[in-house]
Amino acid sequence: MAKTQKSAKAKGDSLEEAVQILERAILQESASYADRTFQFEPKKIISVDGVRHEIDVYVSVDHGNGYTAIFIFECKNWKKKIGKSEIIEFSEKVKVAPAQKGFFVAKSFTRYARAQAKKDPRIELLCVEELDLTEVPSFIQVMLKSFHILKVISTKVEIKLRLRGARDPVGSFTGPVEFLVDDAPALWDEYLKSRRKEAIEFACLKFESIDVPEGTYLLNFKDLRHSDHRNCLINGVPLACIEVSGTIQVHIARPSILESQFEIANRGRVYSFVSQSPFVQMKASIPQPMTQIRLGVNERKGWKLTNAIRLFILDPTEPSMLQHQFLQPVAEQKAMGLVNALIFAQQEEVLEHRDALLDELRQLAAGHPADADVREKLAMGLFTTINDAKLEAALERRDALLDELRRLAAAWPDDAAVREKLAMGLSNAVEDAKQKEALERRDLLLEELRQLAAAYPSDAKVQNHLQALEGI
């Protein structure tokens, strides 16, 4: 994954942006703030008694009934240590804000700075580490691979009208148009504009762009837009539907370049990526750890957190971004990323990392017990790791993982996907026992698979696994 070189100002800005993304995510995750209104103001200027102060990140939280809490952040992405004078200046900013808490984020502090900070109980020092840009967790890379923005570059649209009782569609009317909707006068041009927008939006939604490389594409579409009202009359003739067809030029932009990685003590970690697309100015950041993966996308109006996988800019003249689609639930998306990363770690024989990924997959499933997709990914991870343990001749681990897969299937007896992974695990274990001439173990496992098939006679996949082994 590519990385960028930045100026001193850009480095400072990237730390401020990382703090914004992380703190937004923390506030959204916090039960005490989930229903509150909070506002972020970067580089806020406050003037008190003729003295001007710049606040790097200013956060206000509305508790209702006239009560507002203020938190401020000072961000210094310096190589040298922060000294006492910077803390004294920040203490004044906390006072004039006025803030309940002030966080000073920097790589290191002198002992005099730490001593000065202790004099103001409202100040907390947070050490930040700028991480190696070459080290990005595999599941982050997998997840980011899916995220993209689809921007409409240009459109060529033709609209035809189908009138009730007429055999052929007609083009636009010449001359004045009397348009009635449910017997009330309406604006014909606005109605057409709305139908045109809906057709373009639908064509973009249908474009399967999840695995499409970054670039420009031409979409051909034809769409029938039926009236959403019972009675639409054009010059006294009932309107049946509108036929919208044409071509749409769209650009797919992906945040492929790693710009920065920060880990802020006691707060979390942020990965920030940018795109080289000439059509879309985009920056995406991923805060970790969170119970949900969230992407921070930088719009003209500021940072916005989303767990969407695809964002749209449908109108070439409109700079703001429309969040539109969640192609996969966030937990499922993360689970799939963990499984892919786990398989990759096995192939690269990075066994400690593989085991850590499996543990993370277990924790994710425990946090989403009713999510069948996450449960299936856990079963897949267990099955894959069982095979790996067999190859490593780690027999106790192999048996323990198979037991865990049994327990998962027993806990969710109606989950066919988990049941299939158990059948696959038992089938492989029978084959392995046969090859090693462990006949007693083979017979026990084969009987277990028979019992599973007898309990689910209509499960074709389980039956197929048994039939393939019968008679060995």
Q: Is residue 316's pLDDT more than 60?
A: no
Sequence-distant (≥ 6) Cβ neighbours of residue 62 within 8 angstroms: 36, 37, 38, 39, 68
Mean pLDDT (whole number) for 117-131: 95
User: pLDDT tens digit string along 275-304?
Assistant: 878 877 767 777 765 544 456 666 555 556
Portions of the chain given CATH number 1.25.40: 331-469
From 105-114, 156-165, 208-217, 227-236, the region with the lowest mean pLDDT: 227-236
Portions of the chain given CATH number 3.40.1350.10: 2-129
pLDDT band at 343 (very low <50, low <70, confident <90, very high): confident
Mean pLDDT (whole number) for 108-124: 97
Mean pLDDT (whole number) for 140-169: 80
Mean pLDDT (whole number) for 415-430: 91
pLDDT at 376: 92
End-to-end CA distance of the chain: 49
CA pair distance 159, 156, nearest whole angstrom: 10
pLDDT band at 345 (very low <50, low <70, confident <90, very high): low
pLDDT at 327: 37
From 61-75, 219-233, 297-311, the region with the lowest mean pLDDT: 297-311
pLDDT band at 328 (very low <50, low <70, confident <90, very high): very low
DSSP secondary structure letter of residue 413: T
- Are the C-beta atoms of 311 and 150 separated by less than 8 Å? yes
Structure tokens at 316: 């070439």
pLDDT at 83: 97
pLDDT at 302: 57
Question: How many Cα neighbours within 13 Å face the side chain of 359?
Answer: 6
Looking at every residue in the chain, the average pLDDT score rounds to 82
The residue that leads in pLDDT, 352 or 251, is: 251
pLDDT band at 468 (very low <50, low <70, confident <90, very high): confident
**What does the DSSP assignment read for 104-153?**
EEES-B-HHHHHHHTT-TTEEEEEEEE--TT---HHHHHHHHH-EEEEEE
Distance of CA 204 to CAs 8, 141, 276, 295, 309, Å? Answer: 40, 25, 22, 21, 14
**Cα 91–chain centre separation:** 37
Of 19, 55, 75, the closest CA to residue 285 belongs to 19
pLDDT at 131: 84
CA pair distance 286, 152, nearest whole angstrom: 25
Mean pLDDT highest for which of 37-46, 84-93, 231-240, 283-292? 84-93
Instruction: Look up tokens 């808490």; give the residue.
Output: 101
CA pair distance 452, 442, nearest whole angstrom: 15
pLDDT at 456: 93
pLDDT at 416: 92
Q: Is residue 1's pLDDT more than 70?
A: no
pLDDT band at 35 (very low <50, low <70, confident <90, very high): low
Which CATH number is associated with domain 2-129? 3.40.1350.10
Is 369 buried (19+), middle (13-18) or exposed (0-12) by CB count in 10 A? exposed
Of 146, 90, 140, the closest CA to residue 119 belongs to 90
User: pLDDT tens digit string along 87-115?
Assistant: 999 999 999 999 999 999 999 999 999 99
Distance of CA 350 to CAs 187, 343, 353, 388, 391, Å? Answer: 65, 10, 6, 12, 14
CA pair distance 446, 471, nearest whole angstrom: 10
CA pair distance 421, 417, nearest whole angstrom: 7
Mean pLDDT (whole number) for 440-452: 91
The residue that leads in pLDDT, 48 or 34, is: 48
pLDDT at 2: 54
Mean pLDDT highest for which of 80-94, 169-183, 450-464? 80-94
Structure tokens at 134: 């070459």
CA pair distance 361, 355, nearest whole angstrom: 10
Q: pTM of whole model > 0.75?
A: no
CA pair distance 462, 420, nearest whole angstrom: 6
Structural class in CATH, domain 331-469: mainly alpha
Mean pLDDT (whole number) for 120-144: 82
pLDDT band at 360 (very low <50, low <70, confident <90, very high): confident
Q: What is the 3-state secondary structure (H, E, C) of 143-160?
A: HHHHCEEEEEEEEEEEEE
pLDDT band at 319 (very low <50, low <70, confident <90, very high): very low
The residue that leads in pLDDT, 395 or 94, is: 94
